[in-house]
A and B are shown apart, each in its own frame.
Chain A
Amino acid sequence: EADIYQTPRYLVIGTGKKITLECSQTMGHDKMYWYQQDPGMELHLIHYSYGVNSTEKGDLSSESTVSRIRTEHFPLTLESARPSHTSQYLCASSGRETQYFGPGTRLLVL
């Protein structure tokens, strides 16, 4: 079954640690996205990719970085986590207009 996966689902980590949030999709979509969502707030785009070796920053400024070496894989990395990075991170992919989301990673930085 075609789907989109995110790991870990939950992560509690100390300040200054490097973390990588994983996102993989089996739908063969070229476009992939990372959003940040705080409770009760709208989704904000932080990164997107149109294909392999194509990444751009979104509307919301973020200290994270992304890479797209394989079509199906779009990891997000924080080199040095801070409490301000505490949030839910959502990965999505799309073929045409409709974006399909993964289950999300809830990150807590102490």
Chain B
Amino acid sequence: EDQVTQSPEALRLQEGESSSLNCSYTVSGLRGLFWYRQDPGKGPEFLFTLYSAGEEKEKERLKATLTKKESFLHITAPKPEDSATYLCAVQAQVILTERGYQKVTFGTGTKLQVIP
């Protein structure tokens, strides 16, 4: 069964203090790994899709990397507006599940707080 584990559960940073969030995954062949940002009471906002080990993507202060077992979301010089919960999800490289869809498994997220 596909599994996604995110760590830490919560992270408190000073403004400008760079850090990384971890997403460890177990999947029977990776089709895609997704990072989302979710603000309280809102839907997840898409950040990145990574497809293969060694791939990297950047957007402003965020950089996502992928290995065969985990992904990191690096936050460089964060600002208070980066405070949110960051979700990781994986989709397996299977044709179809018994119910006919390519399942996406989500982690429980890392809640990031950036203090001015």
Contact = CB atoms under 8 A, between A and B. Distances in A.
Interface of A: 6, 40-43, 45, 48, 50, 56-59, 88, 90-92, 97-104, 106
Contacts of B109: 42
Contact of B103 (A6, A57, A59): A59
Contact of B107 (A42, A48, A59): A42
21 contacts: A6-B43, A42-B4, A42-B109, A43-B87, A45-B103, A45-B104, A56-B101, A58-B99, A91-B43, A92-B43, A97-B31, A97-B49, A97-B102, A98-B46, A99-B46, A101-B43, A101-B46, A103-B43, A104-B42, A104-B43, A106-B41
Contacts, number: 55
| Chain A, interface SS category | strand
Contact of A57 (B31, B43, B99): B99
Contacts of A41: 108
A92 B101 CA distance: 14
Interface residues of B, number: 25
B43 A90 contact: yes
Nearest to B91: A97
Nearest to B43: A101
Contacts of B31: 97
Contacts of B108: 40-42
A57 to B, nearest CB: 7
Contacts of A43: 44, 87, 89, 106
A5 B46 CA distance: 15
B101 A98 contact: no
B41 A104 contact: yes
A94 to B, nearest CB: 9
Interface in B80-116: 87, 89, 91, 99-104, 106-109
B25 interface: no
Contacts of B36: 101
A57 B43 CA distance: 21
10 closest residue pairs by CB, A with B = A101-B43, A97-B32, A104-B43, A42-B106, A43-B106, A101-B44, A42-B108, A103-B43, A98-B49, A90-B43
